[in-house]
Amino acid sequence: MLFALTLAAALGCALLGGLFFAFSNFVMKALMRIPAPSGIAAMQAINVTVLNPLFLGLFFGTAALCALLFFLRWESPFALGGAALYLIGTFGVTMVFNVPRNNALARLDPAGSVSAWRRYVQEWTWWNHVRTLAAVAAAALLTFDLSQLKT
């Protein structure tokens, strides 16, 4: 049971790390290359579309798995570290830094301020880098923890 739980958490972290990596690596860069009103409108559409059962299930489900691992595998520094990295560095950063910026962007008129858009992209992307690294590191630690589990 612990193996399956850890594997599911590691896969969730890896999938989310890859998704966030794509945004850091090329999505946000592409949005900055188009006129600000179009970039704002596109990101507003992305922020609405991402709130779907598949993404939310993966995002919150991985958090639930990591919370469970945090308590079930507290004796393993790899499981504990991986769970904490996801809960704090990915889930926490998203809720505290990325979501409030998305909410502010939702209220912005796409024809509005170019400077607000540039600030949004810079700040949002910086925090996206943080949650990307945290998710990938969590996946690595949880994967290593799998090799330590006795089946």
pTM of the predicted structure, to 2 decimals: 0.95
pLDDT for 151 equals 59
pLDDT for 150 equals 73
Q: What is the mean pLDDT of residues 118-126?
A: 98
CA distance 127 to 131: 6
pLDDT for 149 equals 84
- As given in the structure block, the two tokens for residue 87 are 């809960």
Is 90 exceeded by the pLDDT of residue 145?
Answer: yes
| Domain of residue 6, residue span | 2-148
Structurally, how many domains does the chain consist of?
1
Q: What b/e readout covers 102-131, taking b as 16+ CB neighbours within 10 angstroms?
A: beebeebebeeeeeebeebbeebbebbebb
